[in-house]
Amino acid sequence: VLALKVVRGDGEIIKTGTRAKKSAAGYDLTHLFIGAEGTLGIIAELTMRLRGIPETIAAAACSFETVGGACQATILAIQTGIPLARIELLNAAQVMACNSYSKLTLPETPLLLLEFHGSEIEVAEQSKNFGEIARECGGGDFTWTTRPEDRTKLWQARHDAYWSVKALRPGAGVVATDVCVPISRLADCVTATEDDLKRFDLLSPIVGHVGDGNFHCSLVCDPEDAGEMARGEEFMHRLVERAQAMGGTCTGEHGIGQGKQKYLKNELGPEALDAMRALKQALDPLNIFNPGKIVPGA
């Protein structure tokens, strides 16, 4: 996003940028409003940069013996500079759910879905290099395709991940949460999270935008089962504490809302919360935009 037009609480319209590719003109209001979860104003217009379609796009899938191995392959690929356009992790539970829901026959072990962009030669080289890394980390057959229909089918299974989890226990609820950690701690965090799921006897398939160190848990719980709900709450609390202890964040994408307000002070410190309250008061003095969200007392 290059620029926004935002409506403030008093009806005034703010323009946050121009069509220039970059700018150092004043505060970065564009990202302030984008990251505010609708608490500072209403975005009425966006100016976005469009990118060209690459000459060749290849989708790839690689199964691994362990989720730790899949994460380690991601870390090594990034550290060695392989230009990954997309890389997604599905743990074994999520692959099983996708197979059932999307009628696939993927090996029911941890899986990485990848996408490579570039010329035909570049894509082939990227795939070859990643395949070598995958084998070192316990990866099995590494397959890739440039056929649009095959790419679409593979990625559609990932996009339908939530619905595949929902179908595992009809009538149960699905609570989605996410954390994000430095890439170097990704394998440790995901492995420890899976251990916690076994410890608490919970079902929560995991998917992740692991190139960013970000992963999501889709916790399946029966709202009528007080014991299961309590175990789920404890699991999610431990997940956040673990991510923060590893130098990560309580949420990479989902946002703070109300549920994760209690973790902000530990993550950013009281001074940062005071600054957020001041911004809220300055831009929304009547507190009409999503009141009570993000910062306690704002």
More confident residue, 275 or 154: 275
**Residue holding tokens 């380690």?**
72
Average of per-residue pLDDT across 83-105: 93
> What integer pLDDT is reported at residue 243 of this predicted model?
98
Enumerate residues 6+ apart whose C-beta is below 8 A from 111.
61, 62, 63, 64, 70, 89, 90, 95
Judge whether residue 142 has pLDDT over 80: no
Average of per-residue pLDDT across 73-77: 92
What torsion do the CA atoms of 140, 108, 236, 178 make, to the nearest 10 degrees? 60
Of the candidates 99, 115, 89, the residue with the CA atom closest to the CA atom of residue 181: 89
> What integer pLDDT is reported at residue 93 of this predicted model?
95
Strand intervals (E) in 56-211: 56-64, 86-90, 111-118, 139-145, 173-180, 206-209
Q: pLDDT tier at 141 (50, 70, 90 boundaries)?
A: confident
pLDDT in tens, 5-30: 999 988 899 999 999 988 999 999 99
Q: Can you say whether the dihedral through the CA atoms of 91, 94, 99, 104 is positive or negative?
A: negative
> What integer pLDDT is reported at residue 37 of this predicted model?
94
Helix axes 67-79, 186-199, angle to 10 degrees: 170
More confident residue, 207 or 106: 207
Residue burial 123-148, b: 16+ Cβ < 10 Å; e: rest: bbebbeebbebbeebbbeebebeeee
Q: pLDDT tier at 193 (50, 70, 90 boundaries)?
A: very high
Q: pLDDT tier at 51 (50, 70, 90 boundaries)?
A: confident
Percentage of the residues of the chain whose pLDDT score is greater than 70 = 100
> What integer pLDDT is reported at residue 228 of this predicted model?
96
The amino acid that residue 93 corresponds to is: A
Q: Dump the DSSP string for 70-86.
A: HHHHHHHHHHTT---SE
CA distances to 116, 156, 170, 248 from 167, in Å:
31, 16, 6, 31
Domains, in order of start, for the chain: 3-50+258-283 (no CATH), 56-162 (3.30.70.2190)
Q: Measure the CA–CA gap between 152 and 291, rounded to whole angstroms.
A: 40
Task: Determine the 3-state secondary structure of 34 from DSSP.
Answer: helix
The chain-wide mean pLDDT, for the chain, equals: 93
Judge whether residue 199 has pLDDT over 70: yes
Percentage of the residues of the chain whose pLDDT score is greater than 90 = 79
Average of per-residue pLDDT across 196-207: 97
Per-residue tokens: 85: 């356009």
Q: pLDDT tier at 298 (50, 70, 90 boundaries)?
A: low
Please tell me the least confidently modeled range out of 83-92, 151-160, 239-248, 253-262: 151-160
> What integer pLDDT is reported at residue 153 of this predicted model?
81
Judge whether residue 99 has pLDDT over 80: yes
